[in-house]
Chains A and B, each alone.
Chain A
Amino acid sequence: MSGAGHDAVDVGAAIPEWSMEFVDPQRMKTMAAILRDPYEVHWDHEAIRPLGFDRVINQGPLNLSYVTNMLMDWQGAACVRRLNVRFTQPVFEGDRLVARGTVTSVDDVDAERRATCDIHLDRIQPGKPDETVLVGTAIIALTA
């Protein structure tokens, strides 16, 4: 894992971005099996067409995982203390996404230094502004 180290973490610091270059529908199928998720919008194109879509919809936990990956890549695999997020737009197969975040405060809690961060996941669309699909806050132990 790479990390900036907590000595370098200041309020306003940007967390290094983490990208999912292609939301893979095959991964959605595996995820549906692990979750035992019967919701067909994640794996059945015939079920999604009546809703006006031609691509299956990524699972919410997978969308959140890309932000979580950004946090773990930054401060290590055991760094996450809290995730509080809202889903603002569906994510579809084939989407390109970038997880981003900014440190809003740094505090000492329970004998460890923690950063509170604004986090979001953006859909990258050629020729269009980035579209935010998930927003929230994360509390991270500065362990790196």
Chain B
Amino acid sequence: MADASTGVSMTEDELHALVGRRFPGGTRTIEHWENWLLTDCTGFTQLPDRLVHPIALFHVPIQGAGTSIAELFEISGARGAGSVGLDGYDWEYFSPLREGVEYRVEGSVIEVERTVSPESGGVADRFVYSIELTDPDGVLAARITNHWRIRR
């Protein structure tokens, strides 16, 4: 039974079945207001030339791919405060992102792994997804690979 600090139970077969699951895909345009607020949250000065703050590569790929943080929690079996942690990000920028450009966004779950703590016996699952953004000319603009850890 999961509590506030653990995700829902999931067999190892169910976990591995997630690999290859594709997100619906779609397009995403970053608006000026959104970039302004995002940049303001980081404490940085507003950027010139419609440049998007690089940190947009967290939510823009997720939303553009037709999914959401909530749905990723559901897919991975995360539930409640404390059940999910960030292991890390690998973000590649092939060209700077700009406001007002419609990016095509596609991605999938690429890797999972069950780990058991040798000390506590606690189970946690690595959940890794990758999403790519291409510009209107079909040129790859950015790729993200995000690593989450779901405590069971």
Contacts and interface: CB of A to CB of B under 8 A. Distances in A.
B17 interface: no
B113 interface: no
B132 to A, nearest CB: 14
Nearest to B52: A77
B55 A48 contact: no
Interface string B39-64: 01111100111010111001100010
B42 A84 contact: no
Interface residues of A, number: 37
B68 interface: yes
A104 interface: no
What is the interface of chain B mostly: helix, strand, loop, or mixed? mixed
A51 B59 CA distance: 26
Nearest to B148: A60
Interface residues of B, number: 37
A47 B86 CA distance: 18
Interface of B: 4-5, 34, 37-38, 40-44, 47-49, 51, 53-55, 58-59, 63, 68-70, 73, 81-82, 84-93, 96
Interface of A: 20, 27, 30-31, 34-41, 47-48, 50-51, 60-62, 64-66, 68-69, 72-73, 77-78, 80-87, 136
24 contacts: A27-B41, A31-B38, A31-B41, A34-B37, A35-B69, A36-B59, A36-B70, A39-B69, A51-B82, A60-B86, A65-B55, A66-B42, A68-B53, A72-B44, A78-B96, A81-B93, A82-B90, A82-B91, A82-B92, A83-B54, A83-B89, A84-B90, A87-B85, A87-B87
